[in-house]
Structure 1
Amino acid sequence: MTLPGVYAPQDDTGLLARALGREAIGPGADLLDLGTGSGALAVHAARLGAQVTAVDIARRAVLTARLNALVARQRITVLRGDLTSAVPGRSYDFVASNPPYVPSPSGQVPRRGAARSWDAGQDGRALVDRICDAAPAVLRPGGVLLMVHSALCDTDATLARLSTAGLEASVTDRALIPFGPVLRSRQAFLRRQGLLGDEEKEELVVIRAERT
């Protein structure tokens, strides 16, 4: 279930879920889900055997994730907070995130409403950059960050930022999907920004970064 205004699981959710399935996630593994939304990834990780902490800044998302964990009969700790500030002093074997990443004509990140789930500033990196910078502090040695985002917000920039932060990063999965309603409505803006050419599909990427 997804309450109004909460991001419903889509192609990016499925892509990241498959990436989680390729990791050694099992009993005893601690996983942090940043920007959990409906809690779909948190529930998936819990079913794999992980001890899951899920975080979202939106009250409705926190409520939705808690309800979905209850329905799925999975024990998940769901916290309201701003990314890793919700778990001070904690560290994890895995961090997963499907953050807002859609470039927006507005330079502001929404503070409320459905667009809060996808709008991420003019370059789409408002949350992606913050996660890249925060991940090393919450990953244990050998820990892994898995993050999905659109190639429109610059895959190479993500890899470079994670490398600068001391993580070994690479793209482990890609998928081409048709434009959804938001991107269709922003094609002119994206072309003016030089973020989009003549293509009619969006590329999603899964970034895997390991703390060695």
Structure 2
Amino acid sequence: MKFLQPPGVYAPQEDTAMLVSALRREHLSPGAEVLDVGTGTGAVAIAAARYGAARVTAIDTSAAAVLTTRLNALLSGYARVIRASRGDLTEPVTGLRFDLVLANPPYVPSAKVRMPRRGIARAWEAGIDGRAVLDRLCVKVPALLRPGGVLLAVHSALSGPAMTAARLAEAGLDAIVTDRRSVPFGPVLRERAGWLEAQGLIEPGQDKEELVVIRAERPH
């Protein structure tokens, strides 16, 4: 299948693969409605449709990402299942409920205080502790889950997975880390390795990070 990955849109990487792998284990029920937050190229949304979702809502702040997702949904044969919308985090679906929420938010710690408003860096820049978007996600997502609904979120261990699980638990969800994978630093982390070391986030000479998937379920 032809899959568009234009410049300026976050391309599927190790975190994408981990999220899809976790999604595959969920065994979606007939009629399942899925939300994909930070859809990028739409790779995860398409995987959700392939694994049985009746409807997938895909959201991204990037107009280019939304267009790419729509085109990839068409090319993959899932244009009737996937609806892509532009918006800030979960704002386009306020008041709706889902059986499964998938999220690959920005999570890379950065010396930049202000979040970028445009450009590809929006896909990873996440503030001084990497939690600028994660904390908002922990607040917004619980209200979007139906009873028995599940959140699957992927991010770096540099961004505090224990804190993510704790905040989701405070919101009434049963949250655990289900997947861990060590991966080599990409270009962004290699470029800021010195700053990360100065912040105490990595060890001297460290060249790998651990990615995690957090699963959080709303009790019935």
Name the counterpart of 2:132: 126
Aligned pair partner of 1:87 in 84, 93, 103: 93
Q: Distance in 2 between matches of 1:160 and 1:108?
A: 26
Name the counterpart of 1:142: 148
Greater mean deviation of Cα atoms: 162-171 or 23-32: 23-32
Is 1:200–2:204 an aligned residue pair? Answer: no
In the TM superposition, what are the counterparts of 1:107-122 in structure 2 within 5 Å? 107-122=113-128
What TM-score comes out, normalization by structure 2 length?
Answer: 0.94
Name the counterpart of 2:67: 63
Q: Distance in 1 between matches of 2:113 and 2:176?
A: 28
Is 1:33–2:44 an aligned residue pair? Answer: no
Q: Distance in 2 between matches of 1:208 and 1:89?
A: 22
Give 3-state SS (helix, strand or coil) of 2:65's partner.
helix
How far has the Cα of 1:201 moved from its partner? 0.8
Is 1:153–2:156 an aligned residue pair? Answer: no
What TM-score comes out, normalization by structure 1 length?
Answer: 0.98
Question: In the comparison of the two structures, how many residue pairs are matched?
Answer: 212
Give the letter aligned to residue 38 of structure 2.
Answer: G
Q: Distance in 1 between matches of 2:92 and 2:135?
A: 18
Give 3-state SS (helix, strand or coil) of 1:126's partner.
coil
How far has the Cα of 1:26 moved from its partner? 4.2
1:149-194 per-position Cα deviation (integer Å, ceiling 9, x unaligned): 0000011111111111111100000000001010001111111111
Give the letter aligned to residue 81 of structure 1.
Answer: G
Give the letter aligned to residue 65 of structure 1.
Answer: T
Name the counterpart of 1:45: 48
Is 1:164–2:170 an aligned residue pair? Answer: yes
Q: Distance in 2 between matches of 1:166 and 1:190?
A: 33
Q: Distance in 1 between matches of 2:170 and 2:34?
A: 23
Give the letter aligned to residue 116 of structure 2.
Answer: P
Give the letter aligned to residue 186 of structure 2.
Answer: G
1:121-170 per-position Cα deviation (integer Å, ceiling 9, x unaligned): 11111111111111111000110000000000011111111111111100
1:81-113 per-position Cα deviation (integer Å, ceiling 9, x unaligned): 112110121100000000111011101111001
- Is contact 1:101–1:153 with CA below 8 Å preserved after alignment? yes
Give the letter aligned to residue 17 of structure 1.
Answer: V
- Is contact 1:26–1:48 with CA below 8 Å preserved after alignment? no
Structure 2 runs not aligned, ≥5 long: none
How far has the Cα of 1:3 moved from its partner? 2.1
How far has the Cα of 1:27 moved from its partner? 2.8
1:30-64 per-position Cα deviation (integer Å, ceiling 9, x unaligned): 10001111100000000111021101111001001
Q: Distance in 1 between matches of 2:11 and 2:107?
A: 15
Give 3-state SS (helix, strand or coil) of 2:36's partner.
strand
